[in-house]
Amino acid sequence: MRRGSILALLGIGTLAGGIATAVAVLLPWFPDVASKERARIDFTFWFVIAICILIFAIVAAVLLYSVWRFRAAPDDNSDGPPIHGHTGLEIVWTLIPTVLVTAIGIVSAIVLARNDALGSNVLKVNVTAQQFAWSFSYPEAKNLTSGTLRLPVDRSVLLTFTAKDVIHSFWVPEFGQKQDTVPGLTTTLHITPNRTGTFPVICTELCGLGHALMRTETIVMTQAAFDKWLKSQTKAAGSQNPSVSGAAVFKNNGCSACHTLAAAGASGKVGPDLDKLPTYASTAGKPLDAFIRESIVDPGAYTEKGYPKNVMPPFASLPKEQLDALVQYLIQSSKKG
Ligand code: CUA
């Protein structure tokens, strides 16, 4: 091979590889990294991308060089020379991919094994998925239930999923993993958050009319802040004062994601405006107390005009004291509003 040809191949390869690297590195393809597992998954991803860019550069160089160097003259209508393969070349282009794919397999296996390995002092959280809401309960705090997933930073967290109706899928982009929730099966996911902040929890399995609304948040906080929150919530849930525990039930069940209620500082627009509950009840022709109770336990019974039907999950499994407190809280708050 002439020196000029080698230089041309190297030049095209470097240019193609450079452009591919710039596209991969300079554009923000990924959300921020907020878990140890996600960092390992990203490592695997970049390992594969580096291999892809190398192969892309080689293929682009050989292809572009050949198209230019071996092009036919405009008046050349003859057949090309017959070629009967090249054993040496075939061995090379079989061996190299075999080695690369095996390397990717080994790296992935190591990452999967490490991501599944629980740390010490694991925090267990039970996650319930239903059309169309998430709820999180903490066995270590008397099954305190919350509509947002609060987690301490730098601690091993084991999420255990149950689905009440259809298949859903739990996803926090910053944590980097997805887990399906399947009725009749118990699935788990291990996460070690390593950054404080608020990140979205998204359902990524088409699960019905309200699928796009099946979102909440995860708040990763310091261990001290998390302990403080657990303590304050356990106290609030056990409180006898209805206005205190009703507010906590409202907050813990994620009602503010969809509803507006001035007293709770909630401004959701998906579902009916709870400050107008007395008006809705008179339109429905029911006493306020019974109307609110029914709307929580069986939301499909009456749908206010202008709002989507069957989007709110029935909160039929809410313990009686919590339901009573929530109804009283909504009556008091909406009469003020
Ligand atoms: Cu639940 Cu989509």
Structure confidence at residue 177 (pLDDT): 92
- Going by C-alpha positions, the residue among 180, 190, 152, 160 that lies closest to residue 41 is 190
Does ligand 1 have an atom closer than 6 angstroms to the CB of 207? yes
Does ligand 1 have an atom closer than 6 angstroms to the CB of 133? no
CB 69 within 8 A of CB 208: no
Summarised one tens digit per residue, pLDDT across range 128-140 is 998 888 989 999 8
CB 227 within 8 A of CB 141: no
Q: Give the Å distance between the CA of 17 and the centre of ligand 1.
A: 40
Does ligand 1 have an atom closer than 6 angstroms to the CB of 311? no
Section 52-78 average pLDDT: 91
Q: Give the Å distance between the CA of 204 and the centre of ligand 1.
A: 6
Q: Give the Å distance between the CA of 50 and the centre of ligand 1.
A: 35
Tokens 């987690």 belong to which residue? 151
Section 186-211 average pLDDT: 94
CB 167 within 8 A of CB 182: yes
Which ligand 1 atom sits closest to the C-alpha of 207? 2
Does ligand 1 have an atom closer than 6 angstroms to the CB of 205? yes
Which ligand 1 atom sits closest to the C-alpha of 212? 2
Summarised one tens digit per residue, pLDDT across range 247-282 is 878 877 778 878 889 888 888 888 899 888 888 888
Which ligand 1 atom sits closest to the C-alpha of 166? 1
Lowest mean pLDDT, pick from 152-166, 202-216, 234-248:
234-248
Lowest mean pLDDT, pick from 33-37, 104-108, 158-162, 300-304:
300-304
Summarised one tens digit per residue, pLDDT across range 156-185 is 999 999 998 899 999 999 999 999 999 999
Distances (CA, A) of 95 to 57, 86, 100, 103, 260: 18, 14, 9, 12, 63
Does ligand 1 have an atom closer than 6 angstroms to the CB of 214? yes
- pLDDT at 69 exceeding the cut of 70: yes
Q: What are phi and psi of 160, to 5 degrees?
A: -115, 125
Q: What is d(CA 264, CA 336) in angstroms, rounded to the nearest whole number? A: 12
Structure confidence at residue 337 (pLDDT): 54
Q: Give the Å distance between the CA of 231 and the centre of ligand 1.
A: 31
3-class SS letters over the chain: CCHHHHHHHHHHHHHHHHHHHHHHHHCCCCCCCCEHHHHHHHHHHHHHHHHHHHHHHHHHHHHHHHHHHCCCCCCCCCCCCCCCCCHHHHHHHHHHHHHHHHHHHHHHHHHHHHHHCCCCCCEEEEEEEECCEEEEEEHHHCCEEECCEEEECCCCEEEEEEECCCCEEEEECCCCEEEEECCCCCEEEEECECCCEEEEEEECCCCCCCHHHCEEEEEEECHHHHHHHHHHHHHHHHCCCHHHHHHHHHHHCCHHHCCEEHHHCEECCCCCCHHHHHHHHHHHCCCHHHHHHHHHHCHHHCCCCCCCCCCCCCCCCCCHHHHHHHHHHHHHHHHHC
| CA-based torsion, 288, 290, 292, 294: positive or negative | negative
Average pLDDT, the chain: 89
Does ligand 1 have an atom closer than 6 angstroms to the CB of 127? no
CB 248 within 8 A of CB 233: yes
Distances (CA, A) of 214 to 239, 302, 310: 30, 21, 13
Total length of the chain? 337
- Going by C-alpha positions, the residue among 159, 148, 163, 249 that lies closest to residue 201 is 148
